[in-house]
Each structure stands twice: as C-alpha cells, then as structure tokens.
Chains A and B, each alone.
Chain A
Amino acid sequence: MRLADVIGPVMIGPSSSHTAGAARLGGLAKRIWGRPVTEVTLFLRGSFAATSRGHGTDLALLGGLTGMAPDDPRIPDAFSEARKAGISWEFNQENVEGAHPNSVRFVFSDGSGTGMEISGSSIGGGAVVLTEIDGFSLRLSGDLAALVTFHEDRPGVVAAVTGSLSRAGRNIASLNLHRQGRGGRAAMVIELDENYLEGLEEMVLATHPAINRVLAIPGGEDN
C-alpha cells in the first residue's frame, strides 16, 4: 500500500467502500459508456442494496455518473445535479448468487435502442473493479487508461493488437485475455501507461478482422 493510500484517499464520507468506491464505479461506468448519460437503471446487490440509503451509495453512484470524483463536495446533492445534467435514472435491487457483496449493475440506454450493461464491485478502501461489460466477464480497475477489445477467439489477434501498439510507441502495463470458450467470443483488457487515447480505437479495430469492437477508457485521476 502506498503512503498516500494509507493517509487517503480524500473523499466524501461516510464509507470508503460504500461511498468513495460507489462514486468511482459510477465514474468508470460513465467512461465506458462513453456517451452523454441520459437514461440509466442501477441494480444494487448485496450490502450496496442493504445499506445504500445510510451510506449515500445511491448518491455516490449517481454522482459518479454525473462526473463527480469521490471527493466532490456536490455528492450529497447528486440527485439534483444529475437532474440538471439531463439524466433520468431508476434504482432497483437484485439478488445474484456469488456476486461480490458490494456490487452494482448499470444498464445504460441512449433512448434510441442503443444500450450497454456494465457490472462492477467496490472491493475495499475505495478501490473498484469492473467485472462485466455486455455480458462479458473481465476485470478492469480503471486506475490506468485501458483498451478493451471484443473479438472472436482466433489466432493472431493478440499479436496484431500488441504489434500495432508497439508501432505506435505505446507501452503496455498489463494485458489480460478472457474467452467464453475455444473459438468463441473473447475480450482483451490492455492497460496503458499514458492516458492519450486519441485514434486508438480505430487503429486497433483495423488490425484484425476478428475484432468486432474496441473501447478506449481513460484512466482515473486518483487523488
């Protein structure tokens, strides 16, 4: 643990996992959705559902979706700020067997049929991890900038993507491959050292015909 994580983070109370982590999850989901948030339904699980009201988990999640950092003093007013930002939202609860006790599923919609589902957990001390995007299991912390590819499990995809990053002079901090089965749907999470992502989605998408979709996610400015 870094010194600044022991004395820190700076955050809106009362709970690092239920409040600060919730704000971070909202922010991370917003970055992955990548468009203005207009309609979102949140399904709270486990202790997020049980103690949401007392910990301001609902406010913090919505604050994150509105673009607030975990130390943003507007988090207690997140509902009115979100309304001002043109977001309509709904909170629900769900029981998912085996889910992390502090977790949430976001269902985004842009009102014209395009949507995205993102699930994540607050894993302690304000740290978070995204565990699912559109039904696909993965692990993404959002601390560093990341590229996520959705592709078919075929030879050459990793080489094509890492090769193109290498030619672009980009250093890979971590790389994780996930697949639903041999030859089936696959995803790759690549964390990068630098936050500069301009043009990377298009570049990576063009590297291999088996790649269907690429998301470039800016890293979080953690305090």
Chain B
Amino acid sequence: MWSLAELEEGCSKTGLSFPEVIIARDSERSGASPESIRKTMGSRLIDMERSVREALSGEHRGKFIGDDSTLLETYGSKGSPLSGGLVIEASRIALAVSTYNASMGRIVAAPTAGSCGIIPGMLFACNSLFPTPREKLVDALVVAGGIGQVIARRATLAGASGGCQAECGAAAAMGSAALVFLRGGSPEAITHGAGITIKSILGLVCDPVAGLVEIPCVKRNGSLVSLGMICADMALSGIRSAIPPDEIIDAMRSVGNSLPDTLRETGMGGVAATPTGIRLKEEFSS
C-alpha cells in the first residue's frame, strides 16, 4: 500500500533521508536506477527554473487574464504588504508561471499544468530568503513528488476526477512538504505539513470559466502558496494533525468522488456558472 506512514517508516528503519526513501521506492517500482531518477529530477528543476525566468521576463496574458504578477510585485516593492515579503514573492512567481502556462509558455506540470505555478513559487521564494545548495533543492522537489505519488495512488491528481483539491490543493500540499524538508523538519513534520494543507482545502471544486485553465486557476495558484507556507510553519512548530495525513488523503478521495460532475472540470458549476462566468464564456466563443 502506498502511504506517507510507509515513507516515514522507511526513514526510521533505514536511516535514509526522506527524499532517499522516495527515490528508492520509485526505483523499486519503475526499474530505473536511483541515479537516473535523481538526474531526471535535476533536469526537472532546471526546466522549472527556466519556466520562472521566462514567465517573469516578459508580459504574458491569457484569453481572460492579464499580468497580475507585475501588479503584485510593484505593490510589494513599495508598500508594506500585509502578507510579508516571502508570501508576496511566492505568489508573484506562482501567478507569473501560471499566466505563462495560459499563454502557451513552456512549463513543468507539477503535478498538473493548471497548478504549475505553486511549487516553483514556494520553492524559489524560499530559496531567495534562505539560499540553498542546488542538490538540496533537487531533494525538495523529490519530496514534493513523493507526496504527489501517494496522493495520486490513494486519491487522484486530476481535477476532472477529484476537483481542484486534487490539483492546486495537491500542489500546495506537495510544496508545503518540500518547504518543511528544506527548513530541516523531521519526516513526521514533512507529512503533517502536507496533511494540514490538504485538510484546509478539502472540497475545493474545479470550475474553470469557459473550460479554460485561467479563471479561477491562476489566482488559486497565487493564493494557495500562502496556505502551503503557513501549514509548513505549523508543522515545523510542532503542531500535528489529529487525523493522520494518510487518512486525510483518503478523505480527499471520498470528497472528490461525492462532488457532482458540474464541479469537476466541466465548466458548468462554481464561478463558471455565475452570470459573469457565463457572459465571459459567451464573449469568448462568439
């Protein structure tokens, strides 16, 4: 059975680090060598960095959405933002990468294209405040991926099956675990960072206006980074979820299964079904 508990146990039994256990498991299951898996994850990090660089270097737009990232950056650089510099930085990167995706830019699906801004936002904002050796950033990406593997197996990573909790929610949980790891948290803290994050977005619906990966996806990328960050801080402070993280993921599956079709990427419910959502869809298709 795939579980976060099994990953924690792997660390305590073998003395390996959390990312080492994830890579060892992936190697057992896929037949690829640990070295080649690590190498692939290293190249994913490079592609992710490139997507951030390209996203921040120009002004990108979708069919509906504009350059929100620049607005937030300008605001953050001159005033005293309520959220603090780290959150603003993470959000600005997440908005930019997600908008770049909407404009047909080259991104790394993490875990999906619709949620592709969240992990780079959290990872690179953290790296700007606490500069981290490259190999450790690769480890952090492995931690994020390992959490995603368990979510994929016990629940789903597809909005069409499980709603947005399975896409942006999963990304925030994966990013949260990666940050706990980067800040020296224990394997238990890592899984609880992910678990507390999922607990906080349980039931989030997938309701894209006109079926496009723009409204509300881009802003959810920009806002859920902050949820992942505070949940990482909670886990690092010693706070633990009363419900074990694996059980939270199982709850996510059953919540996803009970969502009606209108709230699972069909563009027929939620904000897509508001008067403005419908008008935007009509304007776009005319």
Contact = CB atoms under 8 A, between A and B. Distances in A.
Interface stretch (A7-15, A149-157, A204-212): A7-15
Interface residues of B, number: 48
A7 B158 contact: no
B112 A4 contact: no
A149 to B, nearest CB: 28
B44 A13 contact: no
A64 to B, nearest CB: 14
Nearest to B267: A51
Nearest to B25: A3
Contacts of A220: none
B113 A7 contact: no
B185 interface: no
A144 interface: no
Interface in A1-50: 1-4, 6-16, 19-20, 47, 50
B152 A6 contact: yes
Interface residues of A, number: 31
B47 interface: yes
B163 to A, nearest CB: 15
Nearest to B146: A3
Contacts of B262: none
Interface of chain B: mostly helix, strand, loop or mixed: helix
Interface in A116-130: 124-126
Given A10-B106, A13-B104, A13-B105, A2 B30 contact: yes
Given A14-B101, A16-B113, A51-B211, A6 B106 contact: no
A163 interface: no
Nearest to A7: B145
A126 B32 CA distance: 21
A56 B63 CA distance: 11
A50 B149 contact: no
B102 A10 contact: no
B22 A3 contact: yes
Interface in B207-228: 210-214
B37 A4 contact: yes
B113 A15 contact: yes
A59 B104 CA distance: 10
B270 interface: no
B152 A13 contact: no
A12 B283 CA distance: 25
A56 B62 CA distance: 11
A54 B210 contact: yes
23 contacts: A3-B23, A3-B149, A6-B145, A7-B108, A7-B144, A8-B109, A10-B47, A10-B107, A10-B108, A11-B106, A13-B104, A13-B107, A13-B116, A14-B101, A14-B102, A14-B113, A14-B214, A15-B114, A16-B109, A47-B211, A76-B104, A125-B109, A125-B157
Given A7-B144, A13-B105, 6 more contacts: A3-B40, A10-B108, A12-B104, A13-B104, A59-B104, A125-B157
Question: Which 9 A-B pairs rank lowest in CB-CB distance, beginning with the nearest?
Answer: A13-B101, A6-B148, A14-B213, A54-B212, A51-B211, A7-B145, A1-B152, A3-B145, A76-B104
